[in-house]
Each structure stands twice: as structure tokens, then as C-alpha cells.
Amino acid sequence: MKREKLKVKIIPLGGLNEIGKNITAIEYKEDIVVIDCGLKFPEEDMFGIDIVIPDVSYLLKNKDKVRGIFLTHGHEDHIGALPYILKQLNVPVYGTKLTLGIVETKLKEHGLLSTTELIRVKPRDVIKLQSVSVEFIKTNHSIADSVAIAIHTPMGAVLHTGDFKVDYTPIDGEVMDFARFAELGRKGVLCMMADSTNVERAGYTMSERTVGASFLNIFGKAKGRIIVATFASNIHRIQQIVLAAESLGRKIAVSGRSMENIVQVAIELGYLTVEKDSMVGIDNINKYPNDQIVVITTGSQGEPMSALARMAASEHRKLSIVEGDTIIISATPIPGNEKTVSKVINQLFKKGAEVIYESLAAVHVSGHACQEELKLMHSLVKPKYFIPVHGEYRHLKQHSELAIKLGLPEQNTVIVDNGDIIELSRDAIRKNGTVQSGQIFVDGLGVGDVGNIVLRDRKHLSQDGILTVVVTIEKETGTLVAGPDIISRGFVYVRESEDLMVEAREIVKSVLLDCEEKNITDWATMKSSMRDQLRMYLYEKTKRKPMILPIIMEI
Amino acid sequence: MKREKLKVKIIPLGGLNEIGKNITAIEYKEDIVVIDCGLKFPEEDMFGIDIVIPDVSYLLKNKDKVRGIFLTHGHEDHIGALPYILKQLNVPVYGTKLTLGIVETKLKEHGLLSTTELIRVKPRDVIKLQSVSVEFIKTNHSIADSVAIAIHTPMGAVLHTGDFKVDYTPIDGEVMDFARFAELGRKGVLCMMADSTNVERAGYTMSERTVGASFLNIFGKAKGRIIVATFASNIHRIQQIVLAAESLGRKIAVSGRSMENIVQVAIELGYLTVEKDSMVGIDNINKYPNDQIVVITTGSQGEPMSALARMAASEHRKLSIVEGDTIIISATPIPGNEKTVSKVINQLFKKGAEVIYESLAAVHVSGHACQEELKLMHSLVKPKYFIPVHGEYRHLKQHSELAIKLGLPEQNTVIVDNGDIIELSRDAIRKNGTVQSGQIFVDGLGVGDVGNIVLRDRKHLSQDGILTVVVTIEKETGTLVAGPDIISRGFVYVRESEDLMVEAREIVKSVLLDCEEKNITDWATMKSSMRDQLRMYLYEKTKRKPMILPIIMEI
């Protein structure tokens, strides 16, 4: 019993075998440290779902032990579930200045700001808990102020890299804290968890600064307005757009709600430097000649409601794309978004704009470490045990192979899944059981009220629609007194299907007659006969399988 | 009037501003030549649609002029609509040996083989029609036996490249007919239409032969079974898999219906050479040691019902993936398929297989010309006018810019859309009106019976489901005698929503009472009141907008 307690437990509750909803619990004695609390955007087959958040039942069951949520950086897949989880689990939230700045905006929208304890930290800060301490270590990523987190336990240190890349020339001049990673490595790290996103890519990720050079080049040639779409959270990218604009004397306007929010936060907190009078409101851009304007906007993923998509579709109220505009899409489509991005590009080209995107110029770099950078991290930290995180299985698998190639004994790395309990002692790593984990769907105001049955129905409805059959029968005799009425939606053009519906009604009538004859009065049997007969008939006639919904009314 | 008749008309009915359903009509005097007759796979938002075919109303209206459908190659996006179009327009189909071999299989399935006139041609053949003649010219592509088509008219030649790449070392040794393209160029080509698919890619597409070198390398290292997924139609790829297998003494099995079909056709027609006794049935692979087996299979796009996807999901009846298997995905995901491919890769890795795909090794090359190859084609053919085809707007635009950079006067290239009539004379090109064109949805047995209303309903249903409200009222008095019954599907978990449903029923009752008081008896008004009241209530409570279907029964 006593030995059991002395183990460090690592329990990932999200982020493994998926992209998104990153959250990991690290437990030692009476302390649980939670790293990140992210959301996931819905998969294609999650019809109607707005966002997906992690199932944190395990944390709720162990409420008293949870010392706080410790954030590595301010991306949605690391902070987006906070408003939902904090409602159930009111614990302090630790993060760097910009990260908390973004969290604040989010909590304000959910009315949670006054009830949440936000604790601002900076790199090299150490938070002492009961049996462990938590240290923040500077990294580089596609958002400013990102950190790795080390949890120091009596068994040794557990290091979580967070999302990172190696950038020797970052925009803010703050290179990741190689010295501290090396020092931890020298002292001995028990276990490292590291970002696997780009493990399939050879070589190095380019420095963010290279994008700035491309901007200067493209901006210098542009004859009209310049519109740049990028991720709102990429403050360094935005800084480079601002610098390029200012160097050419162009005014800068911002469009898109999330872009406006984050730019404001970043300026207030000192993460974005803009010359006095450089900024103009989006309402005022027409007061300047076209060649004196740069617009920074959202929509780099082609999101249908984003500012850029609205411009492309002529639905933006403040800005119409005209011939001579130069539009830069400074991002790469996230897998699954290729088609929406392509649609926006086509629309913009059709309006006569010049459109510049990744396949045409170096207007984007990744925020994640490629193979050579991962090797550097492994070589600095030299962990005894290694758990690849932040990726699908293919990434985790290849990251563990990379570690083995660097000399890690094969038995010292494990590929784990959400909900797995990984136990660490000084000389062993093993999976030992699981806790409840999974995905909770958020749909409108509902959190968790849509599950697999509802999704299965939505999918069914989306494929072949629905056919509702209503009959009113006399209670005593079972005789049909009204109907059958058949109404379909999403099945077939009504005018094309009259014969089909006439025949379907006849089928229902004969089912009812048959039931009457056989003295079948229970509704379940009647309904399932209707359903079966109709299904067979419709499939034979159309090779489609609409949902069939029989309703019996009784008077 | 007389001058009008002397123009060549080019009327693309599909394939522009989209990927798929390639079909173009070329008209001169009393002849219409149709090039290709392809299908398109449904977009993400075309719920439940199986395939999309072109609207050929224009051809039906001008039936007497249509001399035939002339095929460039045997890919689905060039031949897939034939079974549907031939039912309405029974004209001869011209194609090379392999192309017609694939078409035959397709027509057989649709019971059209006996009623269709198939005319086999070979490169350099010329078909003389009334006022024009049609010539076939050898090209290279990711399917064997592909050709460009030149239509010789008294006004000059119109050249359609079909899909092509430049491969100096093709697997069958038959390099594209540079001499004939150059000769046409020397004599003068009035107008060229050329493949724009890869116009965004700099440089050259690698030779198909480079993939064979990768296969030999990977096969040589594999310790267990080798399973290669690729496009069934890529006979040259399959030939290279066969050669690599044979060089190592491995037996070859084929899995997947389309793969089995095409391999059989290709062997019969002499496009695929397999040593005697090399092939074994998929049922017999377990009779051989694992390191003596290569399986060629479908599913390189992660298609859920494909052989590879079934293997990955442990649903394949003949083959279970085991540790030690090496699986090669010899294809690149078509935009939109990234996630399904990734899912299959993850599943295969989890089963302990080695998985090799494009980002890890050179196991695929494109079938389309990159920029330098396009420049070669333009430089050989030197057309007077140029129409970029086979691409989205972004590709067409960039292809026209490439032509202009090569010296084509800007006014000599036009970007056109499906349905545009392009008129060509010896010294002018211009758009002059449009004909009906568009997409016809095929869903099960229905061709064209699903349109935008049905799709809009399916989309609505997929997002928030449906709520059916049924009431039975007394005809004379309008009094409620049964109901309201409310049944929802795809909206919310029933057990979570009891209060919601109770309240919804009350709302319907009060609407009916209100109608009774105001003496409103027309159903349309009653239904729309129910719908409005319920919509408001549900949106307020859930922020969702299910479809609401009120049904009134009268007794």
C-alpha cells in the first residue's frame, strides 16, 4: 500500500490519438497537477456539434487533490475547454501573461472572470505545492509566451514540453531556455512528454522571421490594398505584418472579432508594438488611397463565417474585394480544411485579386518542431522515460521510434491513450489500469446532452432524410379513422414521388388491416411492421434508406 | 448568318472551376464532337449523394449533330458518367484499347454493352466526320493508353491535351508523341485546351519509374507480408509492384473489386505482364510463408468500404493485419480525403504493421504536368489561342498567366466556365452566350430526383435533427382530440429533454387554443404558428434550430 503511494502517475485525459483537447493530469501523493485544458474542433461526422471537450470525471472525483490547471500557451486546443471545466472544477489557473490575457477574454464571455483565480507566472518561476513543485520554462511556438512545464517530485522530474519549435531568431528576441533544459537533463529527468505534431517532417522548421522577409518582398510590390489572413493568436506573425506595413507607410486595420480581441490584448500587455497613428478603424480604410492600407484579418482556414470568407463571398459589410487587392493567406490549411480554403482562394481570384498562399510563396512556417529539433530536445533533456504526446497514433509511434534511434532503451518508452494510468517509479514505467475519459459534445447551450445515438440519427437523416407516417386509430377497435399521412423531408422531391407516396400509404393501410385481423394491438409491433414493410418497399424502388418514423395517435 | 456558321464553338459542360465530370463539346457546322464524359465525387455538403454527373441538355437538344464521345483515358472523372449519359444519348464511343476495356466493364454492369457502339482507336488514328476530323495523339498519364485529341476543322486545329505528364521513361516504353505535337505546332494550332491540375507546382513531375525503385528498396527490407494500396487504374504502378514482387520470388494476390476487375482487363489486353504462376488467389495467401506474399489492394484514399480500410478495421474476411506486415500506401490523399487516409494509417500502425506513405518515402508520383512540363507543351504546340481546363479557378487563372509569361498575347487566352459558348474564328476568340449546364445528382436509383431543396433539408436535419408535432383535431369544431405528440430524432437525448418536451406540448396546445378563439381554421396558418412558437422556445432553451414538422390530422 505504501509503495503504491510513492509512484508518480501520469494520466492523459485528452490529446493522444487525436489532434486537440490537450489535458494531462500528473499525480503524486496528495497533489494533482493538470497541464492544459483544451478543446477539439468537431470531426466531419460529428454533425451539428460546436466543440468537443474532455471528460474530466477523474478530476471531479479527486477534486480535493487538484491544485490547479497549469497552461503551456494560449491556443484553443490547450485552453478552450476552461470555461466548461471551471464551471465544475473551480481551481486556480496558472499561466504566463499573454496566455492569461487570452484566457481572461474567454472567461469574461462566459461570466466566469470574477470567480476564477488566475495566477500569472513567468519562465523559471516555481510554484510549490504540497509534495511537488511546478516550474515553467521558456519555449518558442506560434504564439508568444509559451512554456514547457516541469513537475519536480521526490521521484524525479516530469517534463512536459508543451507545443514547441526551436527558433534561434524569434520575433521577441526570447529564445527558448536551452540552458534550463540542459540543466534539467544534467540533473536527470525521470520522464519527458514531448510534442509529436511534426515528427514526420525531416529537417528543421524555419524561423518565424523568414515570413517577415516574404511580407516585405510582397508588400513592396503590391500596387493596391494588402489583406493578410492569419491565425489571430499568432502575435509574432501580426507583429511582422505591422512592421512591414509601417516600413512602407501603410495604415493598418483589423477585421474579425477574434483578431480584434487578441490584437487589443496583445497591445495592452506589450506583446505587440504598433506605432502611434498606424492603426485605423476598418470603417475608415476608404479614407486612404488603396496603396496605403494593410488589413489584418481572420479566415486563414476558410471558415465560412470568418472575415476573409465574407470578403470572398461579397458579404463583408466594410470591405469589398476589388481588382488590384493583394491577399496573403499566411497559414497552411489544417487537415480537413483544404477544400474550404481552396473555395475562398477561387472566389478571391475571381474578383480579380492577387492571391498569395503557401504553395506560391513562403508566407507561413509551422509552430512545431521537425525531426532535427525533436532530436535536439531529446539530447538536451536525456529523459530516462519518454512518452510521446500531442498527436495521432502515427505521430506517437514515429516519435517513440525517433527516441529509440537516439539511444533510449525500447522498454523506456510507451505509447499511451487517453485515460491510461502510467505509473512511474525511479526504475520503471508501466501502464496500470485506466480512468474514465472521452469526449463531451457541446452543441448550442447543451454540454453532454448530445451523444452517439443523437449523432447516429443525424448522420442517418443527412444521408437519406426522413419519412414520417401518421395514423389515427380508434382506441377500442383499432380501426383507422384518419391517415395514413406520409410526410418526407430530405428524401426525394415531392413532385417526383407522388406514385411512391400513394403506394406507401397503401402499404401502411394493409399493415394496419393485417394487425386488426390478427388482433395485434400493441403499438410497438404495429410500428415495427410499418417500418419494415416501408423500408423494403422504398429500398427496392429507390435504393435509399430514409429514417422511417411511424406515429400512432389514438382517440 | 453565314459567317456565324463558320465559327468553331467550344462548349465545356463540365470540368471547369471544379475537379471532376470532365466533358467538352466542340462544334463546327453540323458536327459536335464530345470529349470525355466524366463523373464527379460528391462534395462534403452533398449529403447522401453517390455521384454527380454533368447536365447534358445541350447535347440532347442537338442529338443529331453529336457524332460520338471521344475519350482521352479511362479515369472515372473522364468516363464515369457514360452509363448515365448513354441512356439518353446513344452515340458511338471512341477510345484506345485499355480505355474501352475499362468502359466495357462499366457498361456491362449497367446492361448497356450490347446497345453501345464502341470504336477502338490507336494513337495517330484519324476519324473523319462530316466537316471535321478527330485525331488521337499519344500522351503519358497515371493510367496507360492515354491520348490527347486534336479536332481538325477548316478554321484550324483545336487541341485538347487530356490529362498528361511528361515521362521520358514510362513503364511501357511509349513516350508521348512529341513529334506529332511539334508538327501540329509547326502547321499552326488554332486553340489549345490543356490540363491545369499541377500548375501551382514548380519543376517537373518525377517519372513513374522512380516509384519502382522505391518499391524494390522497401520490398527488399520487408520481413513479412507486403501490402500495397494504390489506384486500381494505375496499371503501370501495378506493373512495378508485380515486377518487384517477382524479382524477390514473392507471390502476388489482388484484393478489392475494382482492383480485381482492372487487373483482369489489363492482363487480358496485354497492358500488364505477370509471370505464369506468380498470381495466387487472396484465399490462398495463407498457404505461403508471409515473406513470400505481396497483396495489391484498393483503399489508398481511405475509402471506408475499401479493402485496405476493412483490413485496418479488422473487417476484411480474407486477411488480418499482423505485426511484421509492411503496408505501402502508394498514393497521395485527394484534397478532402486526408482524414480518412490518416485514420487508416493510425489503425494499421496500432496493429503493429510498418506503414509507409508519401511523407515517409517516394512511393507515389503525380500523373499531371508541373510548370516546366506545361511550358514544354505550350512551346511545342504554340497555339494561337489558349483555354486552361481541368482545374478550379485558381488553377485556370495561374495556367493562363503561365501562358502569357511564355509570350501568348493576353487577349488570346480566356478563362471560361461550364456552359460558356466560346467562339473561335481564325483571328478571334470570344465568349458568346451560354448553354444550360450544371450538376445532376445520382442518389441510389434516382438520377436528378434530388436537388437543392432536398439537400438543404438533409443539411438542416444533419445539424440539429427534427421535431415532429402531431395533433388530431375535430373537423367541425377545430377541437383537439388527440395529441399533441412530439417526437424528436437527432435533436437531443430523450431522457435529458423531458421538461423541454412537456413545455413544448403546452406551447402547441396554447397555439391551438388561440387559433380556436380567433376562429383560424386554415392549416397553413396553424402550422406556421406552431413552428414559429416552438422554434423560438427551443432556440432560447438550447440555442439549436431543429427542423420542426407540424402535422395536423382531421377526423
Give A188-221 pLDDT, tens digit per residue.
999 999 999 999 999 999 999 999 999 999 999 9
CATH architecture assignment, domain A209-356: 3-Layer(aba) Sandwich (3.40)
Query: How many alpha carbons lie under 13 Å from residue A7 in its C-beta half-sphere?
Result: 17
Give B241-276 pLDDT, tens digit per residue.
999 999 999 999 999 999 999 999 999 999 999 998
Domains A209-356 and A453-554 share a fold: no
Q: Does the distance separating the beta carbons of B200 and A346 come in below 8 Å?
A: no
Is A191 within 8 Å of A429 (Cβ atoms)? Answer: yes
Q: Does the distance separating the beta carbons of A543 and B445 come in below 8 Å?
A: yes
Which residue(s) pair with B312 in the sheet? none
The arithmetic mean of pLDDT across residues A360-387, rounded, is 96
Write down the CATH number for the domain with range A2-203+366-446: 3.60.15.10
pLDDT at A494: 67
Please indicate if any CB of chain B lies within 8 Å of the CB of A199: no
Kindly list the residues from chain B whose CB atom is less than 8 angstroms away from the CB atom of residue A473.
Answer: none
- Rounded Cα gap, residues B283 and B255, in angstroms: 10
Quick one: fold of B465-554?
Answer: Ubiquitin-like (UB roll) (3.10.20)
Q: Looking at the predicted structure, is the pLDDT value of residue A2 above 50?
A: no
* C-alpha grid cell, residue B68: 460520338
Q: Looking at the predicted structure, is the pLDDT value of residue A45 above 90?
A: no
Q: What is the set of active-site residues of A?
A: 195, 368
Query: How many alpha carbons lie under 13 Å from residue A271 in its C-beta half-sphere?
Result: 24
Please indicate if any CB of chain B lies within 8 Å of the CB of A409: no
* C-alpha grid cell, residue A405: 534511434
Cα dist from B469 to B79, B416, B462, B551, whole Å? 47, 49, 19, 6
Enumerate residues 6+ apart whose C-beta is below 8 A from A130: A29, A30, A31, A67
Q: Which CATH superfamily is domain B210-356 in?
A: Metallo-hydrolase/oxidoreductase (3.40.50.10710)
HEC string for A290-358: HHHEEEEECCCCCCCCCHHHHHHCCCCCCCCCCCCCEEEECCCCCCCCHHHHHHHHHHHHHCCCEEECC
Q: CA B41, A44, A444 angle in degrees (round to 5)? A: 135
What sign does the CA torsion over B347, B350, B356, B357 have? Answer: positive
Domain positions in chain A are 2-203+366-446, 209-356, 453-554
Please indicate if any CB of chain A lies within 8 Å of the CB of B406: no
Identify residue A298 by its one-letter amino acid code. T
The arithmetic mean of pLDDT across residues A473-493, rounded, is 86
Q: Which CATH class is domain A453-554?
A: alpha beta
Enumerate residues 6+ apart whose C-beta is below 8 A from A230: A237, A238, A241, A296, A300, A330, A331
**DSSP 8-class letter at B207:** P
Please indicate if any CB of chain B lies within 8 Å of the CB of A287: no
Q: Does the distance separating the beta carbons of B397 and A359 come in below 8 Å?
A: no
Closest-CA distance of chain B to residue A283, Å: 30
Q: How far is CA B315 from the centre of its chain?
A: 26
Chains A, B: CB contacts within 8 A come to 198
Kindly list the residues from chain B whose CB atom is less than 8 angstroms away from the CB atom of residue A445.
Answer: 541-543
Q: Tell me the binding residues of A for Ca(2+).
A: 48, 50, 443
pLDDT at A519: 83
Per-residue confidence band for A1, with pLDDT thresholds at 50, 70 and 90: very low
The arithmetic mean of pLDDT across residues A3-7, rounded, is 63
For chain B, which ranges sit under pLDDT 50? 1-4
Percent pLDDT > 90 in chain A is 86
Write down the CATH number for the domain with range B2-203+366-447: 3.60.15.10
Identify residue A48 by its one-letter amino acid code. G
CA Rg value for chain A: 29
Is B422 within 8 Å of B429 (Cβ atoms)? Answer: yes
Global pTM value: 0.91
For chain A, give the mean pLDDT: 94
Enumerate residues 6+ apart whose C-beta is below 8 A from B488: B465, B466, B467, B468, B494, B497, B501, B546
Q: Does the distance separating the beta carbons of A449 and B465 come in below 8 Å?
A: no
SS3 A52: strand
Sheet hosting strand B446-447, strand order edge to edge: B51-54, B439-443, B446-447
Kindly list the residues from chain B whose CB atom is less than 8 angstroms away from the CB atom of residue A458.
Answer: 461-465, 490
Please indicate if any CB of chain A lies within 8 Å of the CB of B339: yes
Q: Does the distance separating the beta carbons of A470 and B482 come in below 8 Å?
A: no
- Among B45, B329, B351, B454, the residue to mutate for chain A (most A Cβ within 10 A): B454
Q: Does the distance separating the beta carbons of B465 and A454 come in below 8 Å?
A: yes
pLDDT at A361: 85
Is B113 within 8 Å of B104 (Cβ atoms)? Answer: yes
Is A350 within 8 Å of A311 (Cβ atoms)? Answer: no
Please indicate if any CB of chain A lies within 8 Å of the CB of B510: no
- Phi and psi at residue B528, to the nearest 5°: -70, -30
**Which residues 439-458 of B are in CB contact (within 8 Å) with A?**
443-446, 449-451, 453-455, 457-458
Bridge-based pairing state of the strands B466-473 and B480-489:
antiparallel
- Rounded Cα gap, residues B155 and B170, in angstroms: 35
